[in-house]
Each structure stands twice: as C-alpha cells, then as structure tokens.
Amino acid sequence: MGHNVLLVDDSSTMRKIVGRSLRQAGLDFDNIFEAADGLLALEVLEKESVDIVLSDINMPNMDGISFLREKANRANMKDIPVFMISTETGEDIIGEAKALGAKGAIKKPFTPDMVNEILGPFLT
Amino acid sequence: MDIGQDIIEATTDIFSTMLMMDLDVGDPLEGADGDVLSNITSMLGLGGDIRGMLAVHCPAAVAMAITGGFLGMDVDELNEDVKDAIGEIANMVAGNLKVAFAGYDMKIELAIPSSVVGESFRVAGMLGARRVAVPFAMEGGQFLVELKYIVNS
C-alpha cells in the first residue's frame, strides 16, 4: 500500500518537480496533495489523510517554520512527519525546523536520487 | 571574495543537477549598469549583512526552454509557469549564494522572488552598489545572472 504525501511550496513549478522526482525515485504514493503556503497546508491536513509532508521554508502568508509551529499545536496532525525542501540549508534555520519537529531537509537543487536517499528509509 | 565565480558555481550547479544541462559560461561583468536584453526578469531582495538584489534576465526562448526542461513538456508562451520557473531559478541561485556568503562569514537573508515580463530592463537605484553579472549560454540563447549589493557596515 502506498502513502499520501503533501507538497507545500509557493512555486507551482517546484511542486511539479518534486512530484516528478518522487515518481522517478520510485517512491510509492497513492495521492500527491499540494498547497501553496503553510496556511493552505494546514487546511489540507485537516481534511485529508496525509502520511508525510515535504515543505518549503520561504513562502508568503505562512512560511515553513510557522507552519511547523502551528502544526505542532494541533493534536490531529502533530505526529505527521515533515521534511523541509528548501534553498535554506543553514544550520540555524534547519536546526529551528528540527526543533519544531521536522525530520530532515532536502536542499534545492536536488535530484530524484537525493530525494530517495532521504525519504526512502522513512517510507519502507 | 570572488562573487563572479560564486555566481557561476551557484548557477551551473542548478542546471546540471535539475536540468542535466551544461551551460557555456561567459566572463563575469563588473561595473556600471547597462540595459539588459530580456523578455522576463525574476528578482529577489537580499538582506542581512548585505542589502541588494539578485536578478535572472532571460530572453523568451531561453525562459521557455528552462521551463520546459523543468516540467518535462513543451512551453510556447511566457505564461505563469515560465514566471514561476524563472523565479525558482533566482531563488535557488540566491540560496547557493547564501552558502557562498556564509563562507565569507556573512549572513544573508532571502526575500521571495517576483517576475516581470517586458522588453528590456535596467535595474536602477542602490547608489554605490557593487554589480556583478555573468552571462550564460544554452540552447536557445543567452541569459544573465546579476547581483547588486552593498555590504552593511
């Protein structure tokens, strides 16, 4: 049985690239949901069954860090794992994301192999 | 600091990693502003230990080729996908430059990119800013990555 994934990025192009990378990496997802910012991501998590979230950090309306903080306060979604996928890779901001529950980070630019390396062990 | 080389490495990394494309790299240009032949420009602001902006200027054919490579489909107009894709190029170049500036012990922060479509651009303002621009060539033509910045004292 596959998983459901939520892609959170203000760039629709990047959401498409990540979705394609997941498929090219051979990762088995039944549904790929999309959201353009943290606020919209919370709405998806309220409505859909999601197994894993891949989220950008720099986004309008609600950024990735605020999304993690808000998600951690909601009992029905706080345990859904989140991986950051961003140009932001500084130890300070990734450290803050991990302190708020993020399981890891993928740096843009990335290849399907890089995505598989980080997500693969988590999905088996 | 070799900002020209940093721009080259930041840009070629993105194209080789995500588009599997090798770029022909021109010599970095420094100094005065000039009109840039471009149909779409994506730019984002930089803050922190510097203030400035990074811009990616593309003619239409190049912008559509980049977008098509990203999306795995033919793109034949300067639509929202193209603006979004070139904005992501600017975002990723800036992200790589952020790492490069960290190597100079300088912390920079990135704004969210925005894109404009038109015929020719000159990014004005920022009196006293250092300007470094690097031309890159690929199938379809040339594009330019331009960084203007002032180190905060």
Q: What percent of chain A has pLDDT over 90?
A: 70
A16-72 pLDDT per residue, tens: 999 988 888 888 789 999 999 999 999 999 999 999 999 999 999 999 999 999 999
* B95 → closest Cβ in A12, A20, A108: A108
Domains identified in chain A and CATH numbers: 10-112 (3.40.50.2300)
* B84 → closest Cβ in A12, A59, A86: A12
Pairing of strands A3-8, A29-35: parallel
Please tell me the distance from the alpha carbon of residue A100 to that of residue A19, in angstroms, as a whole number.
Answer: 25
Judged by CB atoms closer than 8 Å, whether chains meet at B14 and A109 is answered as yes
Q: Report chain A's mean pLDDT, rounded to a whole number.
A: 91
Domains identified in chain B and CATH numbers: 3-151 (3.40.1550.10)
CB proximity list for B106: less than 8 A, separation 6 or greater? B48, B49, B50, B151
* A13 → closest Cβ in B71, B99, B107: B71
Judged by CB atoms closer than 8 Å, whether chains meet at A87 and B102 is answered as no
B91-116 pLDDT per residue, tens: 999 999 999 999 999 999 999 889 98
Judged by CB atoms closer than 8 Å, whether chains meet at A17 and B110 is answered as no
Judged by CB atoms closer than 8 Å, whether chains meet at A20 and B72 is answered as yes
Q: ∠B137-B51-B15 over CA atoms, to 5°?
A: 25
Please tell me the distance from the alpha carbon of residue A88 to that of residue A92, in angstroms, as a whole number.
Answer: 10
Task: Look up residue A31 and give its two tokens.
Answer: 């549904």
